Amino acid sequence: MQKSKQQTLMLALVAGLVAVAPLTAGAQDKMDKAVDKTKSVAEDAKVAVTDSWVTSKTKIALFSDDRVKGSQVKVETIGGVVHLRGKVDSAEAKAAATSVAQGIEGVKSVKNDLQVVSPGARKAVDAKDADIAKAVETRLSREGDLKKIDVRADAGVVTLTGEVPTITASAKASEVARGVGGVRSVKNQLTFTR
Protein backbone atom coordinates (compact mmCIF):
# COMPACT_ATOMS: atom_id res chain seq x y z
CA MET A 1 0.00 0.00 0.00
CA GLN A 2 2.84 2.29 0.82
CA LYS A 3 4.28 1.61 -2.60
CA SER A 4 0.96 2.32 -4.27
CA LYS A 5 0.64 5.72 -2.54
CA GLN A 6 4.16 6.60 -3.63
CA GLN A 7 3.41 5.54 -7.17
CA THR A 8 0.19 7.57 -7.18
CA LEU A 9 2.01 10.62 -5.85
CA MET A 10 4.77 10.16 -8.43
CA LEU A 11 2.24 9.79 -11.21
CA ALA A 12 0.39 12.90 -10.00
CA LEU A 13 3.67 14.82 -9.82
CA VAL A 14 4.73 13.69 -13.30
CA ALA A 15 1.27 14.47 -14.67
CA GLY A 16 1.41 17.91 -13.07
CA LEU A 17 4.84 18.60 -14.54
CA VAL A 18 3.71 17.39 -17.95
CA ALA A 19 0.64 19.63 -17.76
CA VAL A 20 2.67 22.66 -16.65
CA ALA A 21 5.54 22.15 -19.12
CA PRO A 22 3.69 23.63 -22.13
CA LEU A 23 2.64 26.63 -20.05
CA THR A 24 6.22 27.17 -18.91
CA ALA A 25 7.50 26.81 -22.48
CA GLY A 26 4.85 29.29 -23.70
CA ALA A 27 5.78 31.73 -20.98
CA GLN A 28 9.45 31.30 -21.85
CA ASP A 29 8.68 32.03 -25.53
CA LYS A 30 6.79 35.17 -24.55
CA MET A 31 9.64 36.20 -22.27
CA ASP A 32 12.22 35.59 -25.03
CA LYS A 33 10.15 37.61 -27.49
CA ALA A 34 9.82 40.48 -24.99
CA VAL A 35 13.57 40.47 -24.37
CA ASP A 36 14.28 40.43 -28.13
CA LYS A 37 11.84 43.30 -28.71
CA THR A 38 13.43 45.34 -25.91
CA LYS A 39 16.89 44.77 -27.40
CA SER A 40 15.60 45.75 -30.84
CA VAL A 41 14.03 48.98 -29.56
CA ALA A 42 17.23 49.86 -27.68
CA GLU A 43 19.33 49.25 -30.80
CA ASP A 44 16.95 51.34 -32.92
CA ALA A 45 17.23 54.17 -30.41
CA LYS A 46 21.02 54.05 -30.65
CA VAL A 47 20.93 54.03 -34.46
CA ALA A 48 18.17 56.57 -34.97
CA VAL A 49 20.03 59.79 -34.27
CA THR A 50 17.68 62.74 -34.52
CA ASP A 51 18.19 65.54 -37.02
CA SER A 52 18.29 68.12 -34.22
CA TRP A 53 21.05 66.15 -32.50
CA VAL A 54 23.06 66.01 -35.75
CA THR A 55 22.54 69.76 -36.28
CA SER A 56 23.69 70.54 -32.73
CA LYS A 57 26.75 68.29 -32.94
CA THR A 58 27.69 69.78 -36.32
CA LYS A 59 27.41 73.36 -35.01
CA ILE A 60 29.53 72.51 -31.97
CA ALA A 61 32.16 70.84 -34.17
CA LEU A 62 32.25 73.84 -36.55
CA PHE A 63 32.74 76.26 -33.65
CA SER A 64 35.54 74.03 -32.33
CA ASP A 65 37.43 73.89 -35.63
CA ASP A 66 39.99 76.66 -36.19
CA ARG A 67 39.68 76.43 -39.98
CA VAL A 68 36.04 77.50 -39.98
CA LYS A 69 34.31 80.40 -38.26
CA GLY A 70 31.27 78.57 -36.92
CA SER A 71 29.28 81.78 -36.63
CA GLN A 72 29.42 82.13 -40.43
CA VAL A 73 27.77 78.76 -41.09
CA LYS A 74 24.08 77.99 -40.78
CA VAL A 75 23.35 74.28 -40.31
CA GLU A 76 20.11 72.45 -41.05
CA THR A 77 19.58 68.68 -41.03
CA ILE A 78 16.74 66.83 -42.71
CA GLY A 79 16.72 63.04 -42.79
CA GLY A 80 20.40 62.85 -41.89
CA VAL A 81 21.39 65.18 -44.76
CA VAL A 82 23.29 68.19 -43.38
CA HIS A 83 22.79 71.42 -45.32
CA LEU A 84 25.45 74.13 -44.83
CA ARG A 85 24.63 77.74 -45.77
CA GLY A 86 26.23 81.10 -45.25
CA LYS A 87 29.40 82.89 -46.25
CA VAL A 88 32.95 81.85 -45.40
CA ASP A 89 36.26 83.62 -45.98
CA SER A 90 37.97 81.03 -48.20
CA ALA A 91 37.61 77.87 -50.25
CA GLU A 92 39.64 76.09 -47.56
CA ALA A 93 37.08 77.06 -44.92
CA LYS A 94 34.29 75.78 -47.18
CA ALA A 95 36.06 72.43 -47.67
CA ALA A 96 36.82 72.19 -43.94
CA ALA A 97 33.14 72.74 -43.09
CA THR A 98 32.19 69.80 -45.31
CA SER A 99 34.88 67.64 -43.73
CA VAL A 100 33.78 68.53 -40.20
CA ALA A 101 30.11 67.80 -40.96
CA GLN A 102 30.93 64.46 -42.58
CA GLY A 103 32.71 63.39 -39.39
CA ILE A 104 29.57 63.66 -37.25
CA GLU A 105 27.82 60.42 -36.27
CA GLY A 106 24.46 60.03 -38.01
CA VAL A 107 25.32 62.20 -41.03
CA LYS A 108 24.27 60.49 -44.26
CA SER A 109 25.52 63.22 -46.60
CA VAL A 110 26.46 66.90 -46.67
CA LYS A 111 25.06 69.54 -49.02
CA ASN A 112 27.44 72.49 -48.97
CA ASP A 113 25.88 75.73 -50.24
CA LEU A 114 28.45 77.95 -48.51
CA GLN A 115 29.49 81.01 -50.50
CA VAL A 116 33.13 82.12 -50.48
CA VAL A 117 33.14 85.87 -49.87
CA SER A 118 36.18 87.85 -48.78
CA PRO A 119 35.78 89.68 -45.46
CA GLY A 120 36.10 93.07 -47.22
CA ALA A 121 33.21 92.33 -49.58
CA ARG A 122 31.01 90.68 -46.97
CA LYS A 123 29.27 93.84 -45.76
CA ALA A 124 28.17 94.81 -49.26
CA VAL A 125 27.06 91.26 -50.07
CA ASP A 126 25.12 90.89 -46.80
CA ALA A 127 23.35 94.20 -47.33
CA LYS A 128 22.52 93.27 -50.91
CA ASP A 129 21.13 89.87 -49.84
CA ALA A 130 18.88 91.51 -47.27
CA ASP A 131 17.62 93.92 -49.93
CA ILE A 132 17.04 91.08 -52.40
CA ALA A 133 15.13 88.99 -49.84
CA LYS A 134 12.98 91.97 -48.87
CA ALA A 135 12.21 92.79 -52.51
CA VAL A 136 11.21 89.18 -53.24
CA GLU A 137 9.01 89.06 -50.11
CA THR A 138 7.34 92.33 -51.14
CA ARG A 139 6.53 91.04 -54.62
CA LEU A 140 5.27 87.72 -53.30
CA SER A 141 3.04 89.48 -50.74
CA ARG A 142 1.16 91.09 -53.64
CA GLU A 143 0.07 87.63 -54.85
CA GLY A 144 -2.83 86.13 -52.86
CA ASP A 145 -1.62 82.53 -52.64
CA LEU A 146 2.09 83.39 -52.24
CA LYS A 147 1.97 85.53 -49.09
CA LYS A 148 3.22 82.85 -46.66
CA ILE A 149 6.45 81.94 -48.44
CA ASP A 150 9.73 82.21 -46.54
CA VAL A 151 12.54 83.84 -48.50
CA ARG A 152 16.27 83.58 -47.88
CA ALA A 153 19.04 85.08 -50.02
CA ASP A 154 22.71 84.07 -50.01
CA ALA A 155 25.00 85.83 -52.49
CA GLY A 156 22.10 86.44 -54.86
CA VAL A 157 20.77 82.88 -54.60
CA VAL A 158 17.18 83.04 -53.38
CA THR A 159 15.71 80.04 -51.56
CA LEU A 160 11.93 79.75 -51.27
CA THR A 161 10.47 77.54 -48.53
CA GLY A 162 7.00 76.95 -47.18
CA GLU A 163 3.73 75.62 -48.52
CA VAL A 164 1.60 76.78 -51.44
CA PRO A 165 -1.75 75.42 -52.64
CA THR A 166 -0.67 74.10 -56.07
CA ILE A 167 2.30 73.31 -58.25
CA THR A 168 1.26 76.26 -60.43
CA ALA A 169 1.58 78.59 -57.44
CA SER A 170 5.03 77.11 -56.78
CA ALA A 171 6.12 77.84 -60.35
CA LYS A 172 4.67 81.36 -60.13
CA ALA A 173 6.67 82.03 -56.95
CA SER A 174 9.89 81.08 -58.75
CA GLU A 175 8.99 83.33 -61.66
CA VAL A 176 8.25 86.28 -59.35
CA ALA A 177 11.55 85.78 -57.48
CA ARG A 178 13.56 85.59 -60.73
CA GLY A 179 12.09 88.95 -61.73
CA VAL A 180 13.77 90.77 -58.83
CA GLY A 181 17.01 92.61 -59.61
CA GLY A 182 20.16 91.00 -58.21
CA VAL A 183 18.72 87.47 -58.09
CA ARG A 184 21.28 85.10 -59.64
CA SER A 185 19.20 81.95 -59.22
CA VAL A 186 16.18 80.59 -57.36
CA LYS A 187 16.01 77.39 -55.32
CA ASN A 188 12.38 76.45 -55.05
CA GLN A 189 11.89 74.18 -52.03
CA LEU A 190 8.16 74.85 -51.76
CA THR A 191 5.70 72.06 -51.09
CA PHE A 192 2.13 72.12 -52.29
CA THR A 193 -1.06 70.80 -50.71
CA ARG A 194 -2.96 69.62 -53.81
Nearest to 80 by CA among 57, 97, 113: 57
Mark whether 154 and 175 lie in a shared domain.
yes
Q: Sort strands 157-164 and 150-154 into parallel, antiparallel or unpaired.
A: antiparallel
What are 121-133's pLDDT values in tens digits?
Answer: 766 666 688 899 9
The confidence band for 42, taking pLDDT boundaries of 50, 70 and 90, is low
Mark whether 128 and 112 lie in a shared domain.
no
Which CATH number do you get for residue 86? 3.30.1340.30
Which range of residues forms the domain containing residue 35?
A: 1-47
Give the separation between CA 66 and CA 131, rounded to whole angstroms: 31
Mark whether 21 and 84 lie in a shared domain.
no
DSSP 107-173: --EEEEEEEE--HHHHHHHHHHHHHHHHHHHHHHHTSGGGTT-EEEEETTEEEEEEEESSHHHHHHH
Mark whether 102 and 130 lie in a shared domain.
no
* pLDDT value at residue 47: 47
Q: Which of 116, 139, 168 is the last residue of a domain?
A: 116
Mark whether 109 and 156 lie in a shared domain.
no
Q: What is the pTM of this model?
A: 0.50
Mark whether 40 and 91 lie in a shared domain.
no
The total of structural domains in the chain comes to 3
Mark whether 143 and 172 lie in a shared domain.
yes
